[in-house]
Amino acid sequence: MAEKQIPIARPVIGDEEINAVADVLNSGMLAQGEVVYKFEEEFAHYVGVKHAIATSSGTTALHTLLWAIGNVRDVLVPSLTFIATATPAIFVGARVQFVDIDRRTYNMAPEFLAHAISKCDGGAVVIPVHLYGQPADMDEIMDLCEEAGMVVVEDACQAHGALYDGKKVGGIGYAGVFSFYPTKNMTTIEGGMITTNDDDLAEMCRMIRDHGQREHYRHEILGHNFRMTNVSAALGLVQLKKLEKMNDARIRNAKILDEHLKNTGVLPPYVAEKRKHVYHLYSALCPDRKARDSLLQYLNERGVGARVGYPMPIYRQKVFHDIAGNFVHENAEYVVERHILLPVHPLVSVDDAHYIGECVENWWEKWTDGQRAKSQ
Ligand SMILES: Cc1ncc(COP(=O)(O)O)c(C=O)c1O
pLDDT at residue 121 in the model: 76
Secondary structure percentages of the chain, helix, strand, coil, to 5: 45, 15, 40
Distance CA 226, CA 325 (A): 32
For the cut 70, the answer to whether the pLDDT of residue 206 exceeds it is yes
181 lines ligand 1 (CB under 6 A): yes
List residues bridging with 304 in a β-sheet.
Answer: 6
For 281-309, b/e burial (b = at least 16 CB within 10 A) is bbbbbbbeeebbebbbebbeebbbbbbeb
Which domains does the chain show, CATH number per domain?
A: 15-238 (3.40.640.10), 244-375 (3.90.1150.10)
- The predicted-structure confidence for 272-308, as pLDDT tens digits, reads as follows 999 999 999 999 999 999 999 999 999 999 999 999 9
Name the phi and psi angles at 266, rounded to 5. Answer: -95, 125
Which atom of ligand 1 lies at the shortest distance from residue 59's CA?
Answer: 11
**8 A C-beta contact, residue 182 and residue 203:** no
Distance CA 291, CA 267 (A): 12
pLDDT at residue 324 in the model: 67
Distance CA 50, CA 195 (A): 8
pLDDT bin (cut points 50, 70, 90) of residue 16 is very high
232 lines ligand 1 (CB under 6 A): no
Residue 324 three-state SS: helix
64 lines ligand 1 (CB under 6 A): no
Name the phi and psi angles at 258, rounded to 5. Answer: -55, -45
- The predicted model scores a pTM of 0.98
Distance CA 37, CA 39 (A): 5
Alpha carbon of 153 to ligand 1 centroid (Å): 14
- The predicted-structure confidence for 309-324, as pLDDT tens digits, reads as follows 999 999 999 999 877 6
pLDDT bin (cut points 50, 70, 90) of residue 326 is confident
In this structure, the strands spanning 51-55 and 275-276 are: unpaired
For the cut 90, the answer to whether the pLDDT of residue 268 exceeds it is yes
155 lines ligand 1 (CB under 6 A): yes
Alpha carbon of 85 to ligand 1 centroid (Å): 7
Distance CA 9, CA 118 (A): 39
- The predicted-structure confidence for 77-135, as pLDDT tens digits, reads as follows 999 999 999 999 999 999 999 999 999 999 999 999 999 999 887 789 999 999 999 99
Residue to substitute in 80, 179, 189, 232 for testing ligand 1 pocket (most ligand atoms within 8 angstroms of CB): 179
Distance CA 178, CA 165 (A): 19
